[in-house]
Structure 1
């Protein structure tokens, strides 16, 4: 009976494909047009592929079991379609409607074809409902998994973008941190910093926490781990951006930063880094009579780095 039911459904699709498409397209076009990403040609192509795969599976699967091997190509098509719509910005409901929009047109054609056979009509109606519910739920599952992958990838990209390592001068790196420093971000910070130390051979790394809103015990531990890892790579660290409230918090928490050089500003930390690398900042280009005075430097005056 199930084999006959599957074949009858396949025949129903084949003999009413244009009518089914017209009613299905009316609903799908209303959804897709709001997104402005899927045109009529693409919708028609997707519908044709879906119906072709569906009728093949219905004609070969005796049990009409969506999880059976005969439905592998249908599952693959729905997975690809759902992943694509997740990237295009469709919602889970709009994606599931790709399948559910066929239900009502099918029921109408089924009633017309079996109006004198109530028992078969009831059996096939139940078969369609069960099958299409499974199809729709599958699209939702794939959609959610795809969206989670997109979110994870975006979070990773944001972490990498929010932890740039800048080479201030030969042998001197700066790592400005903005926002909360948690375990996941600490790992990215450490990897980026260590990689840059290897690439540049830097001996000094300045970790600037001016943009970190609060420093608690966990944040302090993360900073110390980063400092320790950098030292193992041969680079000493200076922590800048220690504001008064952060200094008080660190003291109250009992965090020991005695073995780490700290400065209030990035500029002050840069001066220390220059001194440690044997360089200093000297003013040049001032006109005669202006040296030693406190007046404003001329516009063409500039700083240069001189070995000590």
Structure 2
């Protein structure tokens, strides 16, 4: 690190230490003047956020971390910027508004430096340092926002798929999964995970997968079903696939898919009858399936 950069860094650090509250208040005002940058956050929340970020900046500048790696390598500063971005994402701000909110701190910092030192040369060098530092922070906030939103979308999609593929306990030792719509790899994985967990929790002996509501069965869907059936068998349970309507049976035959090793039935009623045979328990036994009956 050059001597001139060290001097400028020290000047910025002095400004932060002496005028940290003023910098934070100025930054909040700048965001409030541009409503989009505040992301519908309250003034109190913005002040708390500003105090955290200016405090992290002070700590980072006081460390030995080079300016070029200050935002990415200083743990507290990096974490503070990322948490700021995630809060903005949850509050509904756009990624552009989030990064601009971080970048608007430049003006507040430079005003504080100008009030601390009137040397034009130092002011220019400080502006360069602040730009390098906060441009990196703006880029990190944008990247974090995008990653955070993608994770939220993935989690919500998984929750929706779980809700759309419930595992139903019909009676003791018998479970059913009614499938509706399109069956793809992601949804099949969720069905398999949920079903296997319920088999373990309920000590199930039979699992019925009803595909009456599945729009179409192709090679991929058939493979997904076979994988699920094999996993159920590994858990020590029998698996019955119901809802094999004539069009689906014809499609499977035309595709040359071999389901001969899988127990299939045309209707859910037939599958229930098969479950009774396999378990030796009629549905009425559910009435006696309390703790004492197990």
**TM-score normalized by the length of structure 2:** 0.80
Q: Of 249, 257, 260, which aligns to 2:259?
A: 257
Q: Give the number of the structure with larger relative contact order, counting CA–CA contacts within 8 Å between residues 6 or more apart.
A: 2
Distance in 2 between residues matched to 1:88 and 1:132, nearest whole Å: 22
**RMSD value, Cα:** 3.1
Q: Of 100, 105, 110, which aligns to 1:97?
A: 100
Corresponding residue number in structure 1 for 2:223: 221
Would you say the 8 A contact 1:60–1:70 is kept in 2?
no
Would you say the 8 A contact 1:2–1:64 is kept in 2?
no
Distance in 1 between residues matched to 2:75 and 2:202, nearest whole Å: 51
Q: 1:241 Cα shift? A: 1.8
Closer, same or farther: CA 166–147 of 1 in aligned 2, 3 Å? same
Corresponding residue number in structure 2 for 1:172: 174
Would you say the 8 A contact 1:160–1:188 is kept in 2?
yes
Distance in 1 between residues matched to 2:19 and 2:57, nearest whole Å: 14
Q: Of 61, 77, 80, which aligns to 1:77?
A: 80
Distance in 1 between residues matched to 2:59 and 2:238, nearest whole Å: 67
Q: Deviations over 1:40-67 (max 9, x none)?
A: 1221122123223323433454853443
Do residues 200 (structure 1) and 202 (structure 2) align? Answer: yes
Distance in 2 between residues matched to 1:278 and 1:83, nearest whole Å: 54
Closer, same or farther: CA 277–10 of 1 in aligned 2, 3 Å? closer
Structure 1 gaps of 5+ residues are 283-303
Distance in 1 between residues matched to 2:240 and 2:258, nearest whole Å: 14
The structure richer in helix per residue is 2
| Bigger CA radius of gyration | 1
Q: 1:215 Cα shift? A: 1.0
User: Secondary structure of the equivalent of 2:70?
Assistant: coil
Closer, same or farther: CA 20–194 of 1 in aligned 2, 3 Å? closer
**TM-score normalized by the length of structure 1:** 0.76
Structure 2 gaps of 5+ residues are 288-294
User: Secondary structure of the equivalent of 1:167?
Assistant: strand
